[in-house]
A and B are shown apart, each in its own frame.
Chain A
Amino acid sequence: MKMKPKIYSSILTCLLGLFATAHAAVDENTIPLDVEKSNLHFGFIKLTDCAPLVIAKEKGFFAAEGLNVKLTAQKNWVILLDNVIKGSLDGAHMLAGQPIGATVGVSQKADIITAYSLDLNGNGITLATDVWEKMKENVPVDADGKPIHPIKADALKPVIDNWDGDFNLGMVFPVSTHNYELRYWLAAGGIHPGFYTESDPQGHYGGDVIISPNAPPLMPSYLNSRAILGYCVGEPWNQKAVFAEKEGKQLGVPVVTNYEIWKNNPEKVFGVTKEWAEQNPQTHLAVLKALIRAGKWLDASSENREEAVEILSRSHYVGAEPEVLRNSMTGSFVYERGDRREMPDFNVFFRYYASYPYYSDCIWFLTQMRRWGQLREDKPDSWYLETAKEIYRPDLYMEAAQLLIEEENLAEADIPVGTDGFRPVTGEGDFIDGKAYNGQKPNDYIKSFKIRSE
């Protein structure tokens, strides 16, 4: 992977840009809140979607609120959540499922809330090249002979039906979006992904495949050693399989992105404990203000994205090469070699009200937890809404946004003014199976699935 000198110039431009834009401009209009705690320590995992936190720090949005924030990379999601629960971190970059799972007791039990969604989309499902080659025979092609997207799991079903031995797949975490997306995609194609039951807490019960959690950076190596035949993970680990080689072919083929499974699905959130939020309400607001501005900054221009790539590539943040980060941050995605397609919405931080914590997003995760058996009992629709209101706090988001609007750091158009906290019912092309998801009626939604845990 050779670096073209051109890249120096772009890095240099970024660096020089950095020192040209003084922070003074950032806090020009800010009216600081009377924060309870000015020195904060947040955790993150080395993934591109921690960007709003990093940008809020590096571009001075935290400083403008009088916050002195330290960001520390955490080893994995369990340790990260542990550190938040026990208070050694004030807050963290979390999987959307984490605060929900923690609150309803699917994973570590704790009251975690979120008032800020960090991003939408950003994941993909990659299969081993030989699996793809078998599957490809069932995939319809266009006039140029390229597969028609989105590729559905229907094409994979005959391969699995005739597969000799276990069909192992990897995902990131039991309550992560990856788990639900992978299962959703498989089930939409008639493949049983397995249920979580009392006797099978691993979630393999009745499955045509065996889905297990693995560390994201290790997924390509596991694919290489055939410990798994495919995985669902965030970037850069799908692109890595494209560029890595095995027996003269690419190691794996990303077949579908989660954008294609569910357009603009929620991915990561900024989570704090309920207790922390109650003890530090002004601080929490100040953090939200900074994050909203960081999110807006990230989606404001491609120059900003380029600068974000440079900042994220620093060793103590995401640390990957800028070329790799740029791939997912700047809107195109390689499926097979030679099949690069535009994906302008692969990583969304602010557009489509991405950072607003919709109740409907939270409820979707709850429906999936129920669907796969992580929640064992049926609950009334009202329970879903009450639980969502406990965990998702759009009220706090709105309060912070209002302050920003007063300061003229945010426009009314940037926030979903007057929303009831529910996204509109999804349309024909939103989910890969064309299902209409109405967050107000979670039980109807769950019952609409053929494959679901009783």
Chain B
Amino acid sequence: MQKLLNFSEKLGLTLLIPFIKMAMKDEPGKQMIEIIKMLGLPAAALLIFFSLWGLASKNIKTSVGTLPSPSYVWGQAKAMVADARAEKLNKAEFEFYEITREKLYDLLTKRRALEAAGQSVNAVDRERSQFAATIQTRIDELIAEEEALSAQIEAATAAAEKAGLTDRRIAPYETRVLKFYTDSKSSLISLLSKNTKIDNAIADLKSGDEKKIKSADRKRTAYENQLSNPREYSGNGSIIDYINRSIITVLFGFALAAIIAIPLGILCGMSKNFMTAVNPLIQTFRPVSPLAWVLITIQIVDGVFVGDKALKGDLINNPFLHSAITVALCSLWATLSNTALGVSSVSTDYMNVAKVLKLNWFNRIIKIVIPSAVPYIFTGLRITLGVGWMVLIVSEMMATSRGLGWFIDQQYQNNKVESLANIIVCIFIIGIIGAILDRIMFILHKSVSFNDEVSA
């Protein structure tokens, strides 16, 4: 129990402490009051917040309509989750299609090879027709799914009509999935039809009609070429993808900031002259807005990674670098100045010990200066990550890196109430992730600080 208590204290989970103490029978009455305070006051504040919001939503007119109410936003959050689920399914369908296409293409290549070698193609043709039958089975399954889904949507629509509901988000998951199933079905049908056309062309090749043979050969090659091209996933992604991308970007930018700021900060703290030299630069760059940094970053990165050198990965691409570097540029200052402060304010006691031990310059830095500055460095890193997360959203908007910032910007351009509600959902997501990141940094900070109190 005591351990659990220490653990909660360490993690700053102040909410748990009275519960644990109560379980330990440590002044249960007092703990009860504490719990009521700790849960009740935030709950009351939340209640007031949501009712004010609810009131405001009835009265405030935005440029796209009335401000969405809390319940409307909640509905939109659910629709976004539905979207994410559907997107996952879409990816699975895409993978299925790709595997199917590859297999079919393999069989056709095998057939070509056998033809060229003058061997019998019967076996491979049989295999191909069996495979076509399995594709057909899948198509039938999809048709059945479609029917079931559209029945569900119809029922939901009828119910909404009856209830006189006024929003558009009826059966969002089913609607999306229906579309994906339809797309998937069409893709498979088109795969099958290409297979059939190749069969027809092969049949034509045997017809003996000179003209027919020529065009059949051309057709067969064209269809086979089409089947040979691997597809890239062209879905639009979901909120989960945006969140992942944003987190990876901010961590990348954060790491970059740390790699730049900590050594520079150590230098600044070690050498007064160095500090004097670079201080004007630091003071000048520190207050610069991400909006300005991102534009310069875009130009520089696009100048370096240009043409064939451009980064075209799904994750690591030019816009990713734009936003990550912007995050680093805006956020590294806190770590830089805190590291410098930590290093320059290393206790004379430690330095006296170092002198008595005759530690050389390098060992003094490694064994005394840096370790004693670690709490300061972590204070800086915590601020850096916080600032970085704030800056990220803006930089993603500007750099069109497909994270949360980009998504918000897209929604803004949609100019409708649903999009406004989506933006509000994103604000909550951003806030919650920011708080979690800060909590993680808090725990790290606490674990490396020896005696300083770390404020939660």
A and B in direct contact, judged by CB atoms within 8 A: yes
Kindly provide the distance from the CB of B84 to the nearest chain A CB, expressed in whole angstroms. Answer: 13
Other A-B contacts than A32-B222, A68-B229, A319-B415, 15 sampled, CB-CB below 8 A, are A15-B150, A15-B178, A19-B150, A28-B193, A60-B190, A63-B186, A68-B232, A68-B234, A73-B410, A73-B413, A75-B397, A87-B307, A221-B63, A315-B414, A324-B415
Tell me whether A9 is interfacial, beta carbon within 8 Å: yes
Q: Which of the segments A33-41, A196-204, A339-347, A384-392 contacts the partner chain?
A: A33-41
Nearest A residue (CB) for B409: A75
Kindly provide the distance from the CB of B59 to the nearest chain A CB, expressed in whole angstroms. Answer: 15
Kindly provide the distance from the CB of A23 to the nearest chain B CB, expressed in whole angstroms. Answer: 3
Kindly provide the distance from the CB of A224 to the nearest chain B CB, expressed in whole angstroms. Answer: 8
Residues of B within 8 A of A324 (CB): 415-416
A391–B223 CA distance with the chains assembled, in angstroms: 32
Residue pair B415, A217 in contact (C-beta under 8 Å) = yes
Residue pair A38, B226 in contact (C-beta under 8 Å) = yes
Residue pair A15, B186 in contact (C-beta under 8 Å) = no
Residues of A within 8 A of B166 (CB): 2-3
| Chain B residues close to A by CB (< 8 Å) | 63, 65, 146, 150, 153-154, 157, 160-161, 164, 166-168, 170, 175, 178-179, 181-182, 185-187, 189-190, 193, 219, 221-223, 225-226, 229-232, 234, 236, 302, 306-307, 310, 312, 317-318, 397-398, 400, 409-419, 422
A5–B164 CA distance with the chains assembled, in angstroms: 7
A396–B349 CA distance with the chains assembled, in angstroms: 81
Residue pair B222, A31 in contact (C-beta under 8 Å) = yes
Residue pair B190, A88 in contact (C-beta under 8 Å) = no
Kindly provide the distance from the CB of A310 to the nearest chain B CB, expressed in whole angstroms. Answer: 11
How many residue pairs, one in A and one in B, have C-beta atoms under 8 Å apart? Answer: 137
Nearest A residue (CB) for B317: A88
Residue pair A3, B413 in contact (C-beta under 8 Å) = no
Tell me whether A293 is interfacial, beta carbon within 8 Å: no
In the complex, which of the residues A46, A63, A70, A221 contacts B413, with contact meaning CB atoms closer than 8 Å? Answer: A46
Kindly provide the distance from the CB of B261 to the nearest chain A CB, expressed in whole angstroms. Answer: 30
Q: Per-residue 0/1 for A1-26: is the Cβ within 8 Å of any B Cβ (1 yes, 0 no)? A: 11101001101100110110011100
In the complex, which of the residues A60, A220, A316 contacts B410, with contact meaning CB atoms closer than 8 Å? Answer: A316
A315–B419 CA distance with the chains assembled, in angstroms: 8
B181, B182, B307, B317: most-surrounded residue (chain A CB, <10 A): B182
Q: Per-residue 0/1 for A64-78: is the Cβ within 8 Å of any B Cβ (1 yes, 0 no)? A: 101011110111000
In the complex, which of the residues A38, A71, A220, A240 contacts B229, with contact meaning CB atoms closer than 8 Å? Answer: A38
Residue pair A27, B410 in contact (C-beta under 8 Å) = no
Residues of A within 8 A of B318 (CB): 88
Q: What total of chain A residues lie within 8 Å of the partner, measured CB to CB? A: 54
Say yes or no: A8-B65 contact (C-beta < 8 A), given A24-B193, A320-B416. no
Residues of B within 8 A of A22 (CB): 185-186, 189
> What are 23 pairs between A and B in contact, CB < 8 Å?
A2-B166, A3-B166, A12-B153, A15-B150, A15-B178, A18-B182, A19-B185, A22-B185, A22-B186, A23-B189, A23-B190, A28-B193, A31-B219, A31-B222, A33-B222, A38-B229, A46-B410, A63-B190, A70-B234, A75-B397, A240-B415, A319-B411, A320-B416
Kindly provide the distance from the CB of A434 to the nearest chain B CB, expressed in whole angstroms. Answer: 37
In the complex, which of the residues B157, B178, B219, B317 contacts A19, with contact meaning CB atoms closer than 8 Å? Answer: B178
In the complex, which of the residues B146, B167, B411 contacts A3, with contact meaning CB atoms closer than 8 Å? Answer: B167
Kindly provide the distance from the CB of A173 to the nearest chain B CB, expressed in whole angstroms. Answer: 16
Kindly provide the distance from the CB of B318 to the nearest chain A CB, expressed in whole angstroms. Answer: 7
A378–B41 CA distance with the chains assembled, in angstroms: 76
Nearest A residue (CB) for B223: A32
Tell me whether A450 is interfacial, beta carbon within 8 Å: no
Tell me whether A415 is interfacial, beta carbon within 8 Å: no
A5–B231 CA distance with the chains assembled, in angstroms: 39
Q: Give residues 342-360 of A contacting B (CB, 8 Å).
A: none
Say yes or no: A24-B182 contact (C-beta < 8 A), given A220-B63, A315-B414. no
Residue pair B413, A217 in contact (C-beta under 8 Å) = yes
Residues of A within 8 A of B153 (CB): 12, 15
Tell me whether A166 is interfacial, beta carbon within 8 Å: no
Residue pair A39, B190 in contact (C-beta under 8 Å) = no
Q: Per-residue 0/1 for A173-212: is the Cβ within 8 Å of any B Cβ (1 yes, 0 no)? A: 0000000000000000000000000000000000000000
A16–B179 CA distance with the chains assembled, in angstroms: 10
Residue pair B414, A79 in contact (C-beta under 8 Å) = no
Residues of A within 8 A of B150 (CB): 15-16, 19
In the complex, which of the residues B170, B307, B422 contacts A86, with contact meaning CB atoms closer than 8 Å? Answer: B307
Residues of A within 8 A of B160 (CB): 5, 8
Tell me whether A137 is interfacial, beta carbon within 8 Å: no
Residue pair B409, A86 in contact (C-beta under 8 Å) = no
